[in-house]
């Protein structure tokens, strides 16, 4: 279903948007399909993140809205979801620098309402090789928080 499981968009610069700090975003979600469809979770999360300067707060607030709506359902498993977001950060054009920065920077954020979530991604290259460097993270929260609270983390990723 369009907008609930995944979403990606680029931001175009224009005269009205001089304060733009993000170049684009990609979202992927997982969890109770009915709730993800009802909330259009991926698209909603994307829009909320792109409107905010405080990514972790916007991520947490959007998942909290999901939790609040899901808590109206009689089945506790309806409040379980997870999401990842990769946000392209706008490059700073420093004309005074001797070497222009050609690397791309991204903020990689994840959050979940379930007990745990395994995240894997590629960040940079191994040494001077052209081999991608895989990373794995196991995100976990206390069992009593499952379906009741949001756990959110993130990190900066840089590609040359």
Q: Per the structure, how many domains does the chain have?
A: 1
130 domain-assigned: no
128 domain-assigned: no
Q: Which domain holds residue 88?
A: 6-10+21-113+140-159
Reported as a single tens digit per residue, the pLDDT across 102-150 is 567 888 999 999 999 999 887 777 777 778 878 888 999 998 888 888 9
Burial of 139 (0-12, 13-18, 19+ CB in 10 A): middle
Question: Quick one: pLDDT at residue 128?
Answer: 77
121 domain-assigned: no
Task: For residue 13, name the pLDDT band (cuts at 50, 70, 90).
Answer: low
8 Å CB contact between 102 and 159? no
Highest mean pLDDT out of 16-25, 48-57, 62-71, 97-106: 48-57
For 2, the token pair is 């369009």
The rounded percent of the chain whose pLDDT value lies above 70 is 81
Domain CATH code at residue 40? 3.60.20
Q: What is the pTM of this model?
A: 0.80
Classified as helix, coil or strand, 159 is strand
């Amino acid at each position: 279903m369009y907008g609930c499981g995944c979403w990606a968009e680029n931001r175009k610069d224009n005269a009205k948007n001089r304060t733009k700090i993000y170049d684009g975003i990609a979202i992927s979600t997982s969890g109770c399909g009915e709730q993800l469809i009802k909330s259009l979770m991926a698209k909603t999360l994307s829009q909320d993140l792109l409107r905010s300067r405080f990514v972790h707060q916007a991520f947490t607030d959007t998942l909290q809205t999901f939790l609040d709506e899901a808590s109206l359902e009689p089945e506790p498993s309806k409040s379980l979801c997870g999401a990842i977001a990769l946000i392209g950060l706008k490059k700073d054009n420093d004309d005074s620098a001797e070497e222009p920065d050609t690397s791309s920077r991204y903020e990689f954020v994840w959050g979940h309402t379930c007990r745990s979530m395994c995240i894997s991604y590629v960040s940079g290259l191994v040494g001077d090789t052209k081999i991608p460097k895989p990373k794995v993270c196991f995100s976990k929260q206390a069992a009593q928080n499952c379906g009741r609270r949001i756990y959110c983390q993130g990190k900066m990723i840089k590609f040359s």
